[in-house]
Amino acid sequence: MKVVKFGGSSLADGEQFEKVVNIIKADQTRKVIVASAPGKRFANDIKVTDLLIEFAHKTINKEDCSSTVKTIWSRYHDIAAYFQISEQLLQPLLQELIALPKADYPNQDYLMASFKAHGEKLNAQLLTLVLQNYHLPAYFLDPQEAGFMVTDNANDTQVMPETYKNLEKWSSRDNVLVVPGFYGITKDGLIATFSRGGSDITGAIWARGIKADLYENFTDVDAIYAADPRIITHPHAIKVMTYRELRELSYAGFSVFHDEAIIPAIEGQVPINVKNTNHPDLPGTMIVPEHDFHPQSIITGVASSSHFAALYLHKYLLNKEVGFTLKLLQIFYKFNISYEHMPSGIDDLTVIFDKRQFNEQIRQQMCFEIQQALQPDQLEWFDDYAIIMVVGEGMRNKIGVMKNITMPLAQKHVAIHMINQGASRISIMLGTKRADAAAAVKEIYQQFFK
C-alpha cells in the first residue's frame, strides 16, 4: 500500500493532471492520494494559495474580491474543461469558493487558514471528479470525515496523536482515497493549516497512519541532487539516502521536501521515494531508515544557506561564570529569538542565529540588553554569515574527511569562520562569509564527486 503526494506543479493544469491520472492508474497499490493546490504553470504564474491569501486579505479589508475570485476559479475551471467535466458537477466547488467570506470565523487567523486550505480542498475534489471520469473508484475524503485532527494553532498547526489511529481504519477501504494536503481539523471543528508547503507533512502522516509500505512524493525534479544545480552544473543524483542525511541537508537549504514532513515517516519507518511527475519511470531518490542503508560514498551531499547572522562575545573567565549562558538564553527568550548554534571557547562565545527573526530595532535592543546584563569585554555582530553542511553517513568513523574539506578551500583562499564538527556524526558544518558560500560548495563538491 502506497501513499502518493503530488506537489503544486504536478497539479497546475490539465496536462499535468493527466500525468497524475496515469501515475495513479499504473499502480493499484497507490491507495491514498494527497493533493496540493494548483501551483505555477510557468515562471511568472501565481500559485492558487497566493491568490487565496489575497482573497482573504481583501475580505478582511472589505475590498472588492470579484476579480480575485474569478482568477482563482478560472484555474479550476480550465482543468475541468480539459477533462470535459460537466458544469453541473463543478457547481458545488464554485459555491464553496464563493461562500468562503460568508462563514463565521473566531478570528482573522482562522479566516486566513480556511481560505488558504481551500486551494487543496477544491483541487482534491476536482481530482476526484477527474479520476471518476476515468472510472477509477476515487473517493474524496474530507479531513473532518477522516479524523485528521490537529492542534489549535491556526496557521502553523501540528498533528494530534489520535489522528494516526483514526487514519488507520481507512486502509481497509477499497476506494482510491483522495485527500487534500496542508490542513486538518481542530477539536472545535475549525480548519488549521501546517506551515507553507505542508502537504508533504499530510502525506507523511497518512503514510504512518495506514502503515504504508512506501510514501511516494511526486514533484518536478528527477531526484534529490548532491548539490544545488544553481551552483553545480548537472550535479550527481542521489539514489538512496537516509532520513538523517535529508534532515541535515534540508537545514542548509535543500528544499525538495518539507523539513517537518520527515518526522512521521521516521516514526512509522516508511521509506520515501521522491519522484518526478514528468518522468515517472525514473527511479528518483529513495529516503530510507539508517539500518537499511549501506553508504557507497563518503559524502552524500553538500548544501549552503546564507540566512544566518552571528553574535560574538568575549569576556574573561566566561567559562567560570556560572549562569552566563542561562542569562543569555533568558534574554533570547524575552525577545522570542531562538538560536541555532553556540560554539564556546575559554573566554568567548559565538551565537549563530537564523537572521530572518531580526529587524534592526530588535537586534539593537537585544544587543543592548546583553551588554547591560552580561557586560562582555567585546560584543560584535556579523550579518553576512553562511552555513555550509557537508553530509554523509559514509563519513562516520572515517579519518581524513576534514582534510579533504579544508584543503581545497585553503587552495581557493576561502576563509572558514566556524567549524562545528562532533555534534552530529554524519555532518560537518562550516561557517563562511555569504560571498564565499557558493565557491565553498563548488570546491567541496569537486573534491568528493569528481
All three cell numbers of 213, joined, read: 509500505
Which residue from 86, 103, 283, 316 is in contact with a copy of itself, where contact means CB under 8 A? 316
Length of the chain counted residue by residue: 450
- Give the interface segment with a copy of itself, choosing from 33-41, 101-109, 271-279, 313-321 (CB under 8 A): 313-321
Buried b (16+ CB within 10 A) or exposed e, 5-39: bbbbbbbbbeebbebbbebbeeeeebbbbbbbbbb
Q: Which is nearer to a copy of itself, 9 or 427 (CB)?
A: 427
Q: Which is nearer to a copy of itself, 231 or 416 (CB)?
A: 416
Q: Which is nearer to a copy of itself, 105 or 324 (CB)?
A: 324
Opening angle at CA 396, ends 391 and 401, nearest 5: 65
Minimum CB–partner distance for residue 97 and a copy of itself (Å): 34
All three cell numbers of 235, joined, read: 550535479
| 322 scored as a contact of a copy of itself (CB under 8 A) | yes
| 158 scored as a contact of a copy of itself (CB under 8 A) | no
431, 382 in Cβ contact below 8 A?
Answer: no
| 337 scored as a contact of a copy of itself (CB under 8 A) | no
Minimum CB–partner distance for residue 352 and a copy of itself (Å): 9
| 424 scored as a contact of a copy of itself (CB under 8 A) | yes
- Report the distance separating Cα 201 and Cα 211, nearest Å: 15
328, 374 in Cβ contact below 8 A?
Answer: yes
Q: Which residues are known binding-site members for substrate? A: 49, 120
All three cell numbers of 242, joined, read: 537516509
| 340 scored as a contact of a copy of itself (CB under 8 A) | yes
- Residue 142 C-alpha from the chain's centroid: 23
At residue 163, the 3 state secondary structure works out as helix
Minimum CB–partner distance for residue 305 and a copy of itself (Å): 12
| 266 scored as a contact of a copy of itself (CB under 8 A) | yes
Q: What is the DSSP-derived secondary structure letter of residue 416?
A: P
Minimum CB–partner distance for residue 226 and a copy of itself (Å): 18
Q: Which is nearer to a copy of itself, 134 or 316 (CB)?
A: 316
Q: What is the DSSP-derived secondary structure letter of residue 170?
A: G
Minimum CB–partner distance for residue 236 and a copy of itself (Å): 22
Which residue from 338, 365, 371, 446 is in contact with a copy of itself, where contact means CB under 8 A? 338
Q: Which is nearer to a copy of itself, 279 or 341 (CB)?
A: 341
Q: Which of residues 345-404 bind a copy of itself (CB under 8 A)?
A: 345-350, 397, 399-400, 402-403
Opening angle at CA 438, ends 437 and 444, nearest 5: 90
Q: Could you tell me how many residues of this chain bind a copy of itself (CB under 8 A)?
A: 55
Minimum CB–partner distance for residue 424 and a copy of itself (Å): 3
Which residue from 36, 242, 420, 447 is in contact with a copy of itself, where contact means CB under 8 A? 420
Q: Which is nearer to a copy of itself, 296 or 338 (CB)?
A: 338
Q: Which is nearer to a copy of itself, 139 or 381 (CB)?
A: 381
- Report the distance separating Cα 301 and Cα 390, nearest Å: 6
Which residue from 117, 414, 440, 444 is in contact with a copy of itself, where contact means CB under 8 A? 414
- Give the interface segment with a copy of itself, choosing from 45-53, 102-110, 219-227, 411-419 (CB under 8 A): 411-419
Q: Which residues are known binding-site members for ATP? A: 5-8, 219-220, 225, 230
| 269 scored as a contact of a copy of itself (CB under 8 A) | no
Chain contacts with a copy of itself (rule: CB under 8 A): 244, 247-248, 251, 260, 262-263, 266, 316-317, 319-320, 322, 325-326, 329, 333, 338, 340-350, 397, 399-400, 402-403, 406-407, 409-410, 413-425, 427-429, 431
